[in-house]
Amino acid sequence: MPVPGAEQLARWREEALAAPPTRGFGRALSSGPRPRIIAEFKRASPSKGVLGGALDPAGQARAYEAGGAVAMSVLTEEAYFQGSAADLRAARSACSLPVIRKDFLLHDWEIPQSRCWGADAVLLIAAALPAVRLARMLELCQEYGLDALVEVHTEEEARLVAPLRPALIGINNRDLLSFRVELEVTRRLLPLLPDESVKVSESGFENSEQLALFPEVDAFLIGETLVRTEEPQACLRRLRGH
């Protein structure tokens, strides 16, 4: 994505600071009956190719809310996931769920941009952000009223992130380089995370039995299982044990 000009940056900052309060992504992940599910909308992935290229984000959002999801994740990365700001806006407009912008965010200006796009939260990936840069991005999220889900995958990343005391920490069970998925990654990393952080496990969950293996986890992010099914509402209810 090209770096925006000074005029565009100024508009984003002004609009983001004046935006109404978000829907409370972090609050949704830490209250209400378990298992709490963040339902993801994505059209494609680097490992699986096109998943649901013709899916309607608004229709999917309504199904997710009816199925009992507590929040929604929308991919906005274009090259590998075929996502867009339009997908995020359409999904959020169609439901009352808080929505996280899932992308590879690297720059300060992407935080106010995300707020202007309608995001209630953003994903910050520890593997892509040195500790000093990650701390800066977290400060900006606070400044602009966004929640931030900090993602880790290795013990080293978990130890580097822990001193920052993020309110929300996600454990990605999928290796971003090999695309291999292991649910045991969550089990290994949970003891390394701050007690007060809300803990999210991401990727690899297909049934309620798997979710039940991790009672310490506050919320689960589930994507491919939901975008591949023709009945996302019913699928969510099964995942939640209903």
The residues annotated as belonging to the active site are 40, 42, 102, 151, 172, 202-203
Separation CA 79–CA 1 (nearest Å) = 10
7 phi/psi in degrees, rounded to 5: -65, -45
Contacts 24+ apart (CB under 8 A), 82-88: 82/42, 82/43, 82/44, 82/50, 82/53, 83/42, 83/43, 85/117, 87/41, 87/43, 87/57, 88/57, 88/117, 88/118, 88/119
Separation CA 133–CA 130 (nearest Å) = 5
Residues in the chain, how many?
242
The H or E element spanning position 170 is: strand 168-172
